[in-house]
Structure 1
Amino acid sequence: MGLKEMFLLLFLLISLSINGNAVEGRGSISLSKEEDLEIERLLEIINKPAVKTIEDGHGQTFSCVDIDKQPAFDHPLLMNHKIQMGPGSLPKVIKDKKASSLGMSLNIGLKNGGCPLGTVPIRRIKKEDLLRAKSSPNFGKRYHSNAQGPDPANFHFALQSTLTGKAYGSRAVLNIWQPKIIGNQNSASLVILLDGSPLDEIRSIHAGWVVSNGLYNNFLPHLSTAWTNDDHRKTGCYDVLCPGFVQVSRDLPVGIGLSPSSIYNGTQYYMIITVYKDPVNQDWWLLYGDDRKQVGYWPKALFNSTFADHADILQWGGIVYNAGIKPWPEMGSGHMPSDDQQYRKACYIGGMRILFKQGDSIPVNDGTPSDMIRSSPSCYGAWVDQVVPGEDYAILLGGPGGNNC
């Protein structure tokens, strides 16, 4: 099987997961002999030869693979890509006034410094992982603030959406929780960047945390990313399940489990996520923490239209996915934000900033047109809150889900 055929097979399987063609709750997925053989071949493509393997303590194995031979470079548009070990410039340091008063910043990474020099950690994929992923559609599909909105049968959301004009990045402090889900339901808190294309052509990147047994084979939150160049019709996926995202950190891989999680009215844990357009090389970078640790990047070549240059819309908030299994999953802490469900009780996203071309930034509430959009207000809420410690501006979000969403 040639490179083109392998590439098309990979995206066929990913598109099955995105479009939700598999049905939950019916036991094992039936495959023909030919499909089974193709999946075995696909696994050989994804799981590159490893110099070393590392267990993350949450049932996942990361393979240390040659940085130049990671799955990203199986993408036809990246075959001659020159790997970047860091952006040409970083956004200016953004210090929260009292970030420590929010709780504890989650310091995550693989043990003992991660992978050896010259290699990067890539989550090792098993056959059952691909089969589970077939029933876990991508959060990137149709939950935007366009008039058509998301497919109400599958998704609900509580988001702040900001029309920026031209944004070159987004940054936020994300409170980490472990919402309860059933089966292959998903629940997430995300930073989202979109272009202004028609609905079926949306280019986007998202990053944050996701609880998804279908993707990660456990019920913990994970550092999770996704991208698309066409609203996930033919391109894009989570993390490194398809070629695209270039991993550069040796000890902080996308897909890593996040632990511990926040406790209701108790200790709070958070992470800081920045997605930044490098003004020098034009790639979109994923940065983690206040020290802006460089996890990896989405090369400019993956995108066309305006998103190759900038984002038109930024969003922050919660997304849940459900494929017919009730009750609907929790979002955030599982509690609606209200007068008595504030910081330490409801999930929060704070420190939300819009980044510009040379690394400058402004708070999201600094005169930018914004909307709070909620698809099921009786089950999931989100609104502005000015009392989260250390934050000039934050949103509280979450909800219990249930049978009537």
Structure 2
Amino acid sequence: MAQPSILISMLFIVSSLFVTSVLSRSIPNQTIKLDKLSRIRAQLEKINKPAVKTINSPDGDIIDCVLFHDQPAFDLPELKDQKTTLKLPEWPVGYNSSKDTSTGDENIQLWSASSEECPGGTVPILRTTEQDLLRVSNIIRFGKKDKVKKRHEYAVAYASGDQYYGAKTNINIWAPKTNQFEFSLAQVWLLSGTRQNNDLNSIEAGWQVQPELYWDTNPRLFGYWTRDTYQSTGCYNTLCPGFVQTNKRITLGAAIKPISSYNGKQFDMNFKIWKDPKSGNWWLSIGSRILIGYWPSSLFTGLKSHAERIEFGGEIVNSAVNGHTTTQMGSGHFPEKGLFKKSAYFRNLYFVNSKNQYVSFPVSNLRTHVEDPNCYDIKLLSGKVFGTHFYYGGPGKNPKCP
């Protein structure tokens, strides 16, 4: 029989080995977690600027009121020395904004609907949180389109072969259901260059449902830009230096209300993007004449001059491995009979010409594109009330789109 002292010694050795083994596994894990947290905090310092006032929205958003020249855009070297006087753009002519019945007042976002607004000299910026960055796989590329090859599917109307200096349309607002790590959006694209040459310039604006970028599934006002086919330049909203926010009550990234309902009341929003003839900057406006802000001309190469292509429509990401995704586009319903109140739409499609004039798009000048009409489709039409318009969207996976 072993002596008690020997047993105690053996137990001590075994327990020491066990503790050492556990520590050797836990310490590296703790180091990795601490390293990730430190990288997250460093990234948050880049994105979030010091706030003069903070507004806690009833829908959970945190809005920071940041001094105008402290917003992310002015981290750009070419904007650092820009004069503090903001010069308003020259509006395009040829469109009667008094006839616009879209959702477009300054109470379209819940954070400002209760008369909250940022003080003079400041602009609202949606705060990025630690939880936002914990949701994504690549912290450094947060706010940028994913470089991983994912299947993007579209239902769009487009025009090319001319010089375009802006676009205008009314976009129907919905809240399509999306799967995790996928998105659904409706937007306008102004494009120059090509993907093949990696010199694609793009300005984009509309609404999107993107749970990975935001913390919920509400439709949100957004903008995006790139000048190198989404490789390294550009981002959503103000998540990198680029877009200059000017409005005090509406901000990119915050949720939109109200939302359309199937067979119920419909809501749409008038979007305008155009190049100011005086400054060369590309301005974004909603409603009749509500300026949100602008993308400086200096951000771009091809779009420094004009757009070569305009697109209107919906886009989803399909990351399903087996079969098609169930992420919806638009209302989640196809453009079929009895369209209004059932299918999502774009109405009154216009472009801006070199004389800064609105020109209605003739149907004959537009073409359409879809990947698979059994999953998502588009129907281009013309009429007295909606002008040149189209219905689009679909449910994704269904018996004809397995």
Q: TM-score range by the shorter chain?
A: 0.7 to 0.9
Q: Which residue in 2 is equivalent to 1:360? A: 357
Give, in whole Å, the separation in 1 of the partners of 2:142 and 2:378. Answer: 23
Other structure's SS at 1:72 match:
helix
Structure-2 change in CA distance of 1:86 and 1:318 (3 Å): farther
The 1-side partners of 2:248 and 2:213 are apart by 22
Amino acid in structure 1 at the alignment position of 2:314: G
After TM superposition, the structure 1 stretch with the greater mean CA deviation from structure 2, 127-136 or 351-360, is 127-136
Alignment partners' CA distance in 2, 1:89 and 1:321 = 36
Matched residue type, 1:184:
F
Secondary structure of 1:52's partner? strand
Tell me how far 1:289 sits from its aligned partner: 0.7
1:122 and 2:125 are equivalent in the alignment:
yes
Matches within 5 A, 1:158-197: 158-197=155-194
Tell me the secondary structure at the aligned position of residue 339 of structure 1: coil
Q: Which has the larger radius of gyration?
A: 2
* Aligned partners of 2:174 and 2:259 also within 8 Å: yes
- SS for the counterpart of 1:314 is strand
Question: What is the alpha-carbon distance in structure 2 between the residues aligned to residue 141 and residue 383 of structure 1?
Answer: 30
Task: Please give the alpha-carbon distance, in whole angstroms, between the structure 1 residues aligned to 2:259 and 2:57.
Answer: 16
Tell me: CA distance 1:194–1:140, structure 2 relative to 1, closer, same or farther (3 Å). farther
1:347 and 2:348 equivalent? Answer: no
Q: Mapping of 1:219-258 within 5 angstroms?
A: 219-258=217-256
Residue in structure 2 matched with residue 308 of structure 1 by the alignment = 304
Q: Which residue of 2 aligns with 1:269?
A: 267
Give, in angstroms, the shift of residue 61 of structure 1. Answer: 0.6
Q: Which runs of 5+ in 1 are unaligned?
A: 1-29, 143-149
> Is there any run of 5+ residues in structure 2 with no aligned partner, and where?
1-30
After superposition, give the CA deviation of every residue in 1:182-201 in whole Å (9 maximum; x if it has no partner). Answer: 22321001011100334322
Compared CA separation, residues 32 and 234, structure 1 to 2 (3 A): farther
In 1, the alpha carbon distance for the partners of 2:160 and 2:251 equals 31
Q: Contact between 1:337 and 1:396, CA under 8 Å: does it hold in 2?
A: yes
Q: 1:108 — aligned with what? A: 108
Report deviation, 1:354.
0.6
Q: TM-score, normalised by structure 1?
A: 0.82
Tell whether 2:319 aligns with 1:318. Answer: no
Q: Match of 2:12?
A: none
Residue 217 of structure 1 aligns to which amino acid in structure 2?
W
Q: Is 1:76 aligned to residue 72 of structure 2?
A: no
Q: Is residue 182–residue 317 contact of structure 2 (8 Å, CA) maintained in 1?
A: yes
| Aligned CA distance change for structure 1 residues 300 and 319 (closer, same or farther; 3 Å) | same
Separation in 1, partners of 2:326, 2:164: 34
Secondary structure (helix, strand or coil) at the match of 1:354 reads strand
Distance 2:128 2:154 in 1: 29
With the length of structure 2 as denominator, give the TM-score of the two structures. Answer: 0.83
**Secondary structure in 2 aligned to 1:201?**
coil
Give the direction of change, closer, same or farther, for the CA distance of 1:97–1:42 in structure 2 (3 Å limit): closer
* Cα distance in 2, alignment partners of residues 336 and 57 from structure 1: 33
CA RMSD of aligned residues (A): 2.6
CA distance in structure 1 between the aligned counterparts of 2:57 and 2:368, rounded to whole angstroms: 37
CA distance in 1, matches of 2:245, 2:363: 34
**C-alpha separation in 1, matches of 2:151 and 2:251:** 29
| Structure 1 pair 108–344 and aligned structure 2 pair: CA distance change class (3 A) | same
Identical positions, percent: 33
CA distance in 1, matches of 2:152, 2:143: 10
2:90 corresponds to: 89
SS at match of 1:129: helix
Residue identity in the other structure for 1:335? H
Offset of 1:134 from its aligned partner? 4.3
CA contact (8 A) 1:332 1:346 kept: yes
